[in-house]
């Protein structure tokens, strides 16, 4: 239901600052983030941005609960289907109390296994350089699906500036001994001298931290993970289901808590004879500038005392930074254009598609 129009001769009251910022947030999502990924979400988000009555409702939620993806996923979780905005708006009116309950109790814990494709070259190189198997810790792990890079298949297709010099060259990798069809195949286009491995690295220990870990054996948690996938992206939904099947065979160790409180103690549990890697994707936006600085200090301590590696896979606009700080200050928005910047121990190495669909390598091979 649309807001009532002001009486003739009256002007509509100016929106409160929280409402104006919330409308801008949804407008940005609908005009910048969603186009090319989901026509449905683009239309819904723009419709919400122009819907003053709905924006007033959303602005009553705590700041970090107003995210477009969270609100839209809550509606999808309750059964909202692809439809014109008018129908979606009617759905919201009918289900608003349940949508609010889900928004306030859940978080945007998108667990995109496809990101393993953009992390794999760095993980394999770390293992090869150290001559040791890997121990992995993911902060912001959700259900831990990104902790299985050794259990998935890969198809890397070169688009330009490939080391082989052949655009379109394909590199395929599969987990040893696994039957085709029992694991997802992660497809990624590459540009630049990506150090693709010949075989998958060995992972002997894997663990994660999340404020509210999701359980791949819990039907409600699995349904929430599916709701977080954008409506038209059925291929991601199928990939998620295949990754969940892999994780269910050996669920990872997941610790509930704040990453800045739990990381050091969890790292001490990693086997000493492994190459330890701490990584994260689309997580730092949920920390303020002080929290991110504390995390950087913790990683510096782990690097010094344990020889730990740090892979950061983050974008600028996962959520709006209330304190005005930038999640990825190393590169400007115009270059990233909705993609992620992959850093290894603080050094930019690649620009990655947010769902692992592309990898543009920045470093040139050393002679």
Q: In sequence order, what are the residues at sequence separation of 6 or more whose Cβ sits closer than 8 angstroms to the Cβ of residue 231?
A: 38, 40, 41, 76, 82
8 Å CB contact between 112 and 281: yes
Q: Which of 57, 88, 105 is the C-terminal boundary of a domain?
A: 105
In a domain? residue 12: no
Is the per-residue pLDDT at 366 higher than 70?
no
Region 331-343 average pLDDT: 88
Which two tokens mark 47?
């419709």
Q: Which of 105, 137, 165 is the C-terminal boundary of a domain?
A: 105
Q: Which of 89, 105, 121 is the C-terminal boundary of a domain?
A: 105
Do residue 92 and residue 157 come from a single domain? no
Task: Tell me how far apart the alpha carbons of residues 106 and 41 are, in angstroms, rounded to a whole number.
Answer: 19
Q: What is the pLDDT of residues 156-171, one digit of tens each?
A: 999 866 555 566 789 9
Do residue 142 and residue 53 come from a single domain? no
Least confident of 50-64, 230-244, 297-311, 353-367: 353-367
In a domain? residue 4: no
Do residue 195 and residue 341 come from a single domain? yes
Is the per-residue pLDDT at 57 higher than 70?
yes
131: Cα within 13 Å, side-chain hemisphere: 0
In a domain? residue 261: yes
Is the per-residue pLDDT at 56 higher than 80?
yes
Number of structural domains in the chain: 2
Do residue 160 and residue 100 come from a single domain? no
Do residue 255 and residue 182 come from a single domain? yes
Query: How much is the mean pLDDT over the chain?
Result: 90
In a domain? residue 8: no
Do residue 160 and residue 63 come from a single domain? no
Which two tokens mark 168?
């379109």
Do residue 200 and residue 286 come from a single domain? yes
Q: Which of 198, 122, 118 minimizes the C-alpha distance to 360?
A: 118
Do residue 99 and residue 209 come from a single domain? no
Do residue 94 and residue 164 come from a single domain? no
In a domain? residue 277: yes
Range of the domain at 345: 113-361
348: Cα within 13 Å, side-chain hemisphere: 18
Is the per-residue pLDDT at 4 higher than 80?
no
Residue 367 has what pLDDT? 42
Residue 263 has what pLDDT? 97
Question: pLDDT over 90 for what percent of the chain?
Answer: 76
In a domain? residue 6: no
Least confident of 33-37, 83-87, 276-280, 346-350: 33-37
DSSP SS3 for 347: strand
Do residue 87 and residue 126 come from a single domain? no
Q: What is the pLDDT of residues 60-114, one digit of tens each?
A: 999 889 999 999 999 999 999 999 999 999 999 999 999 999 999 998 888 999 9
Do residue 206 and residue 355 come from a single domain? yes
Do residue 130 and residue 246 come from a single domain? yes
Which two tokens mark 287?
């920390």
In a domain? residue 155: yes
pTM given for the model: 0.86
More confident residue, 29 or 160: 29
Q: Which of 226, 241, 285 minimizes the C-alpha distance to 74?
A: 226
* Helix pair angle (39-49, 68-77), 10° resolution: 110
What is the C-alpha end-to-end distance of the chain, expressed in Å? Answer: 65
């Amino acid at each position: 239901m649309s807001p009532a129009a002001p009486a003739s001769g009256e002007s509509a009251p100016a929106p409160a600052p929280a409402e104006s910022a919330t409308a801008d947030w949804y407008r940005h999502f609908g005009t910048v983030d969603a186009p090319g990924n989901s026509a449905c979400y683009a239309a819904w988000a723009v419709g919400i941005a122009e819907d003053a009555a709905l924006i007033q409702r959303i602005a009553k939620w705590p700041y970090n609960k107003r995210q477009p993806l969270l609100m839209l996923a809550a509606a999808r979780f309750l059964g909202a289907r692809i439809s014109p905005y008018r129908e979606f708006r009617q759905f919201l009116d009918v289900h608003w109390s349940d949508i609010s309950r889900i928004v306030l109790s859940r978080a945007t814990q998108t667990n995109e296994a496809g990101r393993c494709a953009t992390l794999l070259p760095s993980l394999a190189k770390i293992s090869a350089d150290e001559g040791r198997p890997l121990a992995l810790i993911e902060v912001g792990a959700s259900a831990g699906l990104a902790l299985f890079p050794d259990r998935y298949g890969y198809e890397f297709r070169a688009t330009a500036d490939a080391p082989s010099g052949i655009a379109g060259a394909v590199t395929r990798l599969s987990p040893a001994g696994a039957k085709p069809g029992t694991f997802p195949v992660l497809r990624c286009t590459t540009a630049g001298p990506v150090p693709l491995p010949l075989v998958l690295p060995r992972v002997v220990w894997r663990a994660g931290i999340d404020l509210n870990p999701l359980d791949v054996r819990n039907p409600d948690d699995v349904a929430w993970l599916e709701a977080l996938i954008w409506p038209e992206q059925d291929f991601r939904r199928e990939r998620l289901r295949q990754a969940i099947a892999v994780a269910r065979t050996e669920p990872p160790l997941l610790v509930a808590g704040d990453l800045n409180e739990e990381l050091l103690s969890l790292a001490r549990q990693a086997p000493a004879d492994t190459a330890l890697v701490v990584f994260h994707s689309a997580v730092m936006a949920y920390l303020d500038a002080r929290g991110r600085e504390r995390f950087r200090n913790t990683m510096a301590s782990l690097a010094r005392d344990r020889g730990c590696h740090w892979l950061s896979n983050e974008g600028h606009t996962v959520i709006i930074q209330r304190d005005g700080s930038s999640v990825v200050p190393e590169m400007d928005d115009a270059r990233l254009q909705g993609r992620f910047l992959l850093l290894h121990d603080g050094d930019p190495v690649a620009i990655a598609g947010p769902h692992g669909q592309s990898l543009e390598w920045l470093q040139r091979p050393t002679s």
